[in-house]
Copies of this chain bind each other. A is one copy, B any other.
Amino acid sequence: KELVSKATGGETSVLSRETFRKTLSNTLERRLFYIPSFKIYGGVAGLYDYGPPGCAIKANVLAIWRQHFVLEENMLEVDCPCVTPEMVLKASGHVEKFTDLMVKDEKTGACYRADHLLKDFVKESLEKDPLMPPDKKEELKHVLAMLDEFTAEQLGAKLKKYGIKSPETKNSLSDPYPFNLMFSTSIGPTGLLQGYLRPETAQGIFVNFRDLYYYNGSKLPFAAAQIGQAFRNEIAPRQGLLRVREFTLAEIEHFVNPDDKSHPKFSTVANLEFYLYPREEQMTLKQPVKTQIGHAVAKGIVNNETLGYFIARTYLFLARLGIDKERLRFRQHLQNEMAHYAADCWDAEIECSYGWIECVGLADRSAYDLKAHTDMSKTDLVAHETFSEPKDVAQLLVVPNKKELGMFFKKSAKMVQEALEVMEEVEALKMKAELESEGMASLHLCTTGQRVTITREMVSISKEIETLHGRTFTPSVIEPSFGVGRIIYCLFEHCFYTRSSNAGDDQLNVFRFPASVAPIKCTVFPLVQNVKLEVTAKEISSALTREGVANKIDITGTSIGKRYARTDEIGVPFAITVDFDEKTVTVRERDTKAQIRVPVEEVAKVVNDVADARRTWIEVQSHYPGVMSKDSNQ
């Protein structure tokens, strides 16, 4: 009877995916989950509003995120501005490297992503001509695989080779050149202070590291978090809600001693099992398998406990929202995907009708960011560690004899002295041995390329033991970064299904959001239009509001079945219907359509308890009498 749409599964055809997506997006737009921004002015590509149900879901998702991460992990949350001065984004590398390669239609000036044009051409060619010679096919497949690796020159050469033109006009295209994806602005009235809208929230945390470290009692590890808007001026946004120009990020920067990336709470998640897709499995074209995270860390598949802990916590978070665990995987970055400084990177990918979508990035970024800001700002972003017991460390001491060097090398003495002082340990030890055995040794002066001879009198080389009580170091940072809008879109897909109406003549849409995520927890209906029923309904609605339960009252005369269908379509989990029984009312659950009768004075509390997960529906159901009315199957 219930036709759960499985259209997004890997097995189904492109056509059914398209149909599924169309039904879904039609529902989302019609019920104002989202609205193309500035719609009455024709809209702007890549900008969307959340309408009332979408906005409530977003607020709920962020509240759950705060509870799950900030509160439960005792994180330090900060809130920094979107407007960011250039210096900060120069240090982070965004001014130089946050670019996509763009081509312009030489006549109209229309802009395209060079890699998108090439990709579209290759995919179309492969589809259109299945009888293409094998070598040609191989070549095109290689282009697809290398797409993200091409330089501007290589991309340009490919576009030329295949004669790719501007898609709308067939005009010639410019050579590809890098276009910076940051929105640019000017801060203050002089026009002299260049600024950008932040492309991520992370930098605001890094620049505050020193203060946050102090706030945390100068102790590691600790995590800071931030929820806020980020901006990317995409060249040509595609894929609806998945690639937009303004979006909400929820980011965590966990600062940790690079020599100790263990996590005190790792054992609490070690037995969790979910889909991991390590680098090796991708290279050998295997499928991801369910793996215990404890096992993955023990085997070195995941680099360290802290990274593993956050992967597991992310899994729990997404499952809690209602993401289908069977369509969620953690994919490790291939070596060429990772920044050179990164120790390990995993993406939480969620499968939807657009394919596998990166929704959360989990990266061990080593000390890169803090070092970059230390260099640019000349402020040390470091931590200090006191050893539990002092450590004796052998140190090589090279002491040139200036007088002796001066007498022998005259004007070049200074140069020789410096060459001695900068010797690597191996080099110095070799010299020490030579001086001891032969009385002299050869030294290479890299500044002039000459070789000079050093005698025993000119330098003393010795090993000394130094006692260290602690050390100063740049912490490593492990960064889980959540694309909130993408997660919400995937949640829409995973929670959406259709079922036929009772009469069987209609397909009805339902969102099976968990109560914690649902935009409205409960609707209240008088069974028919009647003053007395309306009064009771209003009293129940007020009681729900007092309990903090988002609810809506619907006193239109529409049939009860239609009213149920209307609320199913925005994912309201519970509906209370008031009829002529003065003592009890009906509570109906969305997905099972099961109904129970609950006393009027208890109903607000019961619904609040179930919506807040203090009691389960099953538990409540066993407490109160069920109903098999005409409406129960609506």
- Interface residue ranges, A against B (CB under 8 Å): 31-32, 35, 37-41, 44-45, 47-52, 54-56, 58-59, 63, 66-67, 71-72, 74, 76-85, 87-88, 102, 109-111, 179, 183-190, 192-193, 195, 197, 204, 207-208, 210-212, 215, 217, 229, 231, 233, 235-236, 245-246, 373, 376-377, 379, 381, 545, 548, 550, 552, 556
Query: How far, in Å, is A489 (CB) from chain B's closest CB?
Result: 14
CA distance A193 to B556 in the complex (A): 45
Which single residue of chain B is at the shortest CB-CB distance from A209?
B40
Which single residue of chain B is at the shortest CB-CB distance from A86?
B41
Asked if B44 and A208 sit within 8 Å, CB to CB, the answer is no
Residues of B within 8 A of A548 (CB): 67, 71
Query: How far, in Å, is A57 (CB) from chain B's closest CB?
Result: 10
CA distance A71 to B52 in the complex (A): 12
Residues of B within 8 A of A208 (CB): 35, 39, 49, 51
Asked if B211 and A87 sit within 8 Å, CB to CB, the answer is no
Residues of B within 8 A of A85 (CB): 38, 41, 44
Residues of B within 8 A of A72 (CB): 545
From B40, B56, B81, contact of A77 by CB (8 A): B56
Asked if B552 and A207 sit within 8 Å, CB to CB, the answer is no
CA distance A109 to B552 in the complex (A): 57
Asked if B38 and A88 sit within 8 Å, CB to CB, the answer is yes
Residues of B within 8 A of A111 (CB): 188-190
Asked if B183 and A185 sit within 8 Å, CB to CB, the answer is yes
From B81, B189, B212, contact of A102 by CB (8 A): B189
Q: Select the residue from A32, A38, A189, A548 with max chain B CB neighbours within 10 A.
A: A189
Query: How far, in Å, is A189 (CB) from chain B's closest CB?
Result: 4
Which single residue of chain B is at the shortest CB-CB distance from A108?
B190
Residues of B within 8 A of A229 (CB): 82, 229
Residues of B within 8 A of A71 (CB): 545, 548, 550
Residues of B within 8 A of A236 (CB): 189
Residues of B within 8 A of A52 (CB): 76-78, 212, 215
Asked if A32 and B204 sit within 8 Å, CB to CB, the answer is no
Asked if B79 and A55 sit within 8 Å, CB to CB, the answer is yes
From B45, B48, B51, B67, contact of A211 by CB (8 A): B51
Q: Would you list the 10 A-B pairs with minimal beta carbon distance, nearest first?
A: A50-B79, A111-B189, A40-B377, A40-B379, A81-B246, A52-B76, A49-B80, A55-B77, A55-B79, A183-B185
Asked if A187 and B245 sit within 8 Å, CB to CB, the answer is yes
Asked if B184 and A189 sit within 8 Å, CB to CB, the answer is no
Residues of B within 8 A of A231 (CB): 82-83
CA distance A550 to B84 in the complex (A): 31
CA distance A1 to B381 in the complex (A): 43
Asked if A217 and B41 sit within 8 Å, CB to CB, the answer is no
Interface of A is mostly: mixed
Which single residue of chain B is at the shortest CB-CB distance from A59?
B66
Residues of B within 8 A of A49 (CB): 78-81, 204, 208
Query: How far, in Å, is A486 (CB) from chain B's closest CB?
Result: 15
Asked if A78 and B102 sit within 8 Å, CB to CB, the answer is no
CA distance A31 to B212 in the complex (A): 10
CA distance A187 to B37 in the complex (A): 13
Residues of B within 8 A of A109 (CB): 190, 192
Query: How far, in Å, is A318 (CB) from chain B's closest CB?
Result: 20
Query: How far, in Å, is A187 (CB) from chain B's closest CB?
Result: 6
From B45, B78, B204, B207, contact of A188 by CB (8 A): B45
Residues of B within 8 A of A545 (CB): 71-72
A to B CB contacts below 8 Å, 20 in the list:
A39-B208, A40-B210, A40-B373, A40-B377, A48-B81, A49-B204, A49-B208, A51-B215, A52-B77, A54-B79, A55-B79, A71-B550, A111-B188, A184-B185, A184-B186, A185-B185, A187-B245, A188-B233, A188-B235, A229-B229
CA distance A83 to B31 in the complex (A): 24
Asked if B47 and A81 sit within 8 Å, CB to CB, the answer is yes
Residues of B within 8 A of A192 (CB): 109
Asked if B82 and A39 sit within 8 Å, CB to CB, the answer is no
CA distance A565 to B630 in the complex (A): 64
CA distance A116 to B67 in the complex (A): 45
Asked if A35 and B245 sit within 8 Å, CB to CB, the answer is no
From B77, B88, B189, B211, contact of A235 by CB (8 A): B189
Which single residue of chain B is at the shortest CB-CB distance from A206?
B40
Query: How far, in Å, is A273 (CB) from chain B's closest CB?
Result: 24
Asked if A215 and B32 sit within 8 Å, CB to CB, the answer is yes
Asked if A185 and B207 sit within 8 Å, CB to CB, the answer is no
CA distance A41 to B377 in the complex (A): 6
Which single residue of chain B is at the shortest CB-CB distance from A373?
B40
Instruction: Using A78-B49, A208-B39, A550-B71 as known contacts, say yes or no to A190 and B110 having CB atoms under 8 A apart.
Output: yes
CA distance A32 to B214 in the complex (A): 10
CA distance A37 to B192 in the complex (A): 18
Residues of B within 8 A of A40 (CB): 207, 210, 373, 377, 379, 381
